[in-house]
Amino acid sequence: MYVMKIVQQFVIVIMKEVLHVWSAFSQRKVSEGMIGSFSLNNSQKGSKKNKSIKQALSDLDYNVFGTAHSVPGLSPYKLLPLLVVSVFCSEIIIMFALHLFPALPTITEAFVDATMLLVILSPTFYFFHYRPLVAHYIQRKNIIDQLVESEEQLDLTLDAVNDGLWDWDFKAESIYFSPRWERMLGYEPGSIEPKVSSWDALIHLSDKKKVFRDLDDHLLGKSEYFESEYRMKTKYGDWRWILTRGKVVTRDLENTPLRAVGTNTDIHSRKVAEEGLQQREKDIRRLSWQLIESSEVESKRLAQDLHDDFGQLLTALKLGVEMIQNHQIKEEDELQFHCARLLGTVDRMAASLSHVCDNLRPVMLDDIGLIATLKWFVKDMEQQAGTVKINLESPADQKRLPPDVELVCFRICQEAINNALKHAAPTEINVKFRFGSKTATILISDNGKGFDLKKLKASETSHWGFGLLGMNERAAAVDGYVGIDSTPGKGTRVEVVLPVFID
């Protein structure tokens, strides 16, 4: 009877342990089921005490002998029958063995019973309970570690590619935005309400129609993926270009979307670069057209000059030569007079030819340099303008610049002065040169009527716009740049900076 009481107590202990195992096993199953949504739930609640999966699982580490708060993972449905059968068989073996011997004192019989039970159950517990529990625990732990590693790799990948994650639950009418998704727009994690309406409110009005058309096409199954580029409003009020890509991952039997996941990518820098490239291509087309138009205008002007000046002079020269050839001049004095007149006609032809050549490209630029050529040009433009004063300020001892830089300087000054005289109605124009060790700076300013620079750049037909574009292209050809500053009623200021290397 005493032995049976001991067995009963042992069975009670075993049953308590089994119940403890069952409770802890249920806790682990629930915890493992929450792994996929652990971070999601914490982020949606805006909790500042988020735990990583590793921290959550560390609370579930199980001591095989039952001193911790979780389990190794072996199913209690297998563990409970195994324990019962082990105890039952062991006790039968012990009782049968005791009946083979003569009657023993109660204390001795109890001691032998307990000893034999320990001897039988120890290897049974080790081989059929402890070893399977440890093996199963290690297997489950390795799986969890792989899940943790996969999540860490996903987080690192999303951080590396600058992407934010979103997870849309259609049934719950909620959407999860990852911290990176919110920081992309300047918001703190958790500050954007997890609703589709919050995302909708941030989309640029001009882009909404296209975005939701693309989204509807995917939700209806017309496209395999959802992908759209659009602008979103940041916390600071400006707009950033975002690329959203995603896919419906769960549908019901009626093909209704239940869940969709995807990413947001910040493509603002790329879009700005693309817009700059498109504007550049547009400028090149405009410049090409300007070059064609300028070539036609220059050809027309050259033809007019040749016709008006050279045509008349050549006609007069021909008539004079014919008079001499036909001996229509009898007196020596009259002959000398006509010869002098003809020589004067030749001189005027030479001057006209020189003027035409200088307009095409000043020969003196190669002979006497930039400053001297500009002085000649300024004096000539003053004579043509009449009431406009043009001032040229430059260092007296300036050395010659590289030929290509001198030509660019002259053409930009020529264009800026011509544009000012034609469109700004100034009374004074100032041209200043400043030379450094590595750069040459030209400042061209006037006190004319000025203009709105933004409207000018948007204009397709403005001559000033073509002129500015031409000056920019000339400066860019030698790695320089042109800056324009103008205000209606306050004149215009052109700054040209060109790299130079003077020995």
Q: What per-residue confidence (pLDDT) applies to 38?
A: 40
The CATH number of domain 364-503, selected from 1.10.220.150, 1.20.810.10, 3.30.565.10, 3.90.550.10: 3.30.565.10
Q: What tokens does 420 get?
A: 């000012």
Q: Token pair for residue 124?
A: 């049974």
Task: List, as one string, the DSSP characters of 349-364.
Answer: HHHHHHHHHHHH--TH
In CATH terms, the superfamily for domain 163-266 is PAS domain (3.30.450.20)
HSE on the CB side for 422, CA within 13 Å?
Answer: 10
3-state helix, strand, coil in the chain (%, to 5): 60, 15, 25
Side-chain-facing half-sphere of 49: CA atoms under 13 Å:
1
Would you state the pLDDT for residue 304?
66
pLDDT tens-place values along the chain, 503 residues long = 444 555 455 555 555 555 554 554 454 554 444 444 444 444 444 333 344 444 444 444 443 333 333 444 455 556 667 777 777 777 787 777 777 777 778 787 777 777 877 777 777 777 766 777 777 778 888 888 888 888 788 777 767 767 888 999 999 889 999 888 898 899 998 899 999 999 999 999 999 999 999 999 999 999 999 999 999 999 999 999 999 999 999 999 999 999 999 999 999 988 888 888 887 777 777 666 666 666 666 666 666 666 566 666 667 666 677 666 666 666 767 777 767 777 777 777 776 666 666 566 666 777 788 888 888 888 888 888 888 899 998 887 777 888 888 888 888 888 888 888 888 889 999 999 888 878 889 999 999 888 887 776 555 444 445 567 778 878 888 888 888 888 888 899 999 999 876 54
75 CB-side CA count, 13 A: 3
Q: Collect all residues with Cβ–Cβ distance below 8 Å to 93 and sequence separation of at least 6.
A: 116, 120
Q: How far is CA 454 from the centre of its chain?
A: 25
* Strands of the sheet with 239-251, listed across from one edge: 174-177, 163-169, 257-266, 239-251, 226-233
Query: Do the domains 163-266 and 292-360 sit in the same CATH topology, yes or no?
Result: no
Please tell me the distance from the alpha carbon of residue 188 to that of residue 172, in angstroms, as a whole number. 24
- Render 175-219 in DSSP notation, one character per residue: EEE-HHHHHTTTPPTT-S-SSHHHHHHHB-HHHHHHHHHHHHHHH
Q: Element (H or E) spanning 398, and its range? A: none
In angstroms, what CA-CA distances link 365 with 144, 164, 373, 433, 470? Answer: 80, 60, 6, 16, 20
- Report domain extents, the chain: 2-159, 163-266, 292-360, 364-503
Map residue 103 onto helix, strand or coil: coil
292-360: CATH topology:
Methane Monooxygenase Hydroxylase; Chain G, domain 1 (1.20.58)
DSSP string of 428-470, one letter each residue: EEEEEEEE-SSEEEEEEEE-S----HHHHHH-SS-HHHHHHHH
Question: What three-state secondary structure class fits 75?
Answer: coil
